[in-house]
Structure 1
């Protein structure tokens, strides 16, 4: 029997979405689906999310979208984008009867207009307004499958067989992780990436990245390594086949999936910069905010700076995302910089005192 994974958490007898979820459960079960997480009590972590994805044949997201729900939904979409074999042919439907998913769709729509999301995301993350339309949408999508993401593997890309690990210099102040786009190739964005990499190296920090060769991701590594800085990065085999690996990495951590990749990057970093990016960068920032709110020790005393690059009309690259976070995050969980030169001072002023004094 086919298995569908349900998102969301049931928050007691007075949960306003309880009746909608109950109706959805009945319809799914009556239609022949086995249901994972029917009670909304299964905890998803970076360590187990790939397993949860692998064991299901479809995904349904319920009303009352939380940070964790949005993280899981964008994670599925990133999996589609990066041709994750565990997601092949598995449809995703979002029940948006309460419009709580609208800010999430707004971020993706904004990034699509900016060109960092190439796919028409609504063809991958299917929206429904009622439990009944979830069933019809899910049934149709199960027959037609998931659209082609329009990506091809590089002709000469291959996964490294060994993990190189040159330890950071003993006098390094710490590591700054940069989450950003590996597809954005506009020259001014690439220049920002190189400049940030140089600034990180010149200020005595190591640079951690997703180890992609192209876009801003490759530019950051280039800038840091050419400035003589230490650079570390993590990637996964199926993404390396799409994007390749940059030159100049001091340390590389090969991981089996994008979630353990994120985890090792967080473990090796003392601060985070969110540069212009796409769905993957959106996903990574949500992971940081979830860890922050859970009190995860991996995020203790680690500042997060969003580089909200302004265009000529004064519109910030991350405006919709910042609006979304303002509704679900507490003051101080992240800081916004609109100028590249403000990023390092914002980080230095928020690091633990011993590091700040060394700066």
Structure 2
């Protein structure tokens, strides 16, 4: 029988979502689905999330979305975008009876309008406001499959990992989470200039080691200014985006979650540049780790570069509003000018 992984939790007997979850369990089971995580008590970590994805044939997220639920849902969407073979034709449904998923969906739609998300999120994160709609969407998606992502691999093959420690004079490593797809000149120039600024301020540059978009420019800016640059990537994304030249260290990982883990581990601070769904995923992970008091995260600053465009629209306003529901003052800092980032990072370090 097909297996569906159920996300979300029920907080006691008076939880208003208890009844809809019970109805959902009954409907799924009666239609022939085996159910993982029916009690909502299994914890997901960066080290086991890919295993959980492999085990399941579909994913259903319930009302009462938490920060961890948002992270898991956007992680699956990023997996679709990067053509993770373990997600091929595995549908995802959001049961959004209480509107708790609206903020994430609005954020992804905002990024689609800006151009850092090429796909329509509604084609992959299938939304319904009633339990019977979950079964309808699951069956329809399993019969018709999911839409093509529309990306063509370059065929570049991942090489082995290599490691060269940062110079002794470096004062720390800054991880830059950003878009590997945006091609607007102003954004690319910001990426290159920021990479150069990191090198000039004796700060190492850590990235997702993509060769395109802002990500590629940040690395080029650092390398061409004589800086140390480390990065991590996975084979199937390297086939899509290639690797930048000049990396001082490269850590090849099997999936996007362990890739994120090594980037976080090797960094002393994080900068959230304009990006897409993957950058949202990374920001959510940082906030979850801070709230879990994960070892080594409490003293690592997170700075959001909320870049205004020509019309005055600030890039990350929808994400900042979304995070305002779950995050506390001091868990991240927002700046709007490129020149503010380095002084802010150094002050917080």
The offset of 1:312, in angstroms, is 2.3
- Tell me what 1:151 maps to: 151
Name the SS of the counterpart of 1:329 in structure 2: coil
Residue correspondences, number: 349
- Is 1:112 the counterpart of 2:137? The answer is no
- Equivalent-residue separation in structure 2 for 1:298 and 1:20 (angstroms): 39
Residues 275-333 of structure 1: per-residue CA shift (max 9 Å, x gap): 00000001000000000111101312000000000012221001100000111100000
Equivalent positions of 1:1-359 (< 5 A) are: 1-155=1-155, 157-160=156-159, 162-351=160-349
- Equivalent-residue separation in structure 2 for 1:259 and 1:312 (angstroms): 35
CA contact (8 A) 1:175 1:208 kept: yes
Residues 110-157 of structure 1: per-residue CA shift (max 9 Å, x gap): 0000010000110011001111111111111111111100011004x1
Q: What TM-score, normalized to structure 2?
A: 0.99
- Equivalent-residue separation in structure 1 for 2:296 and 2:308 (angstroms): 31
* Ranges in structure 1 where 5+ consecutive residues have no aligned partner: 352-359
The offset of 1:59, in angstroms, is 0.3
The 10-residue stretch of structure 1 (121-130 or 10-19) with the greater mean CA deviation from structure 2: 10-19
Name the SS of the counterpart of 2:232 in structure 1: strand
Name the SS of the counterpart of 1:83 in structure 2: coil
Q: What TM-score, normalized to structure 1?
A: 0.96
Please provide the CA RMSD for this pair. Answer: 0.7
- Equivalent-residue separation in structure 1 for 2:152 and 2:15 (angstroms): 44
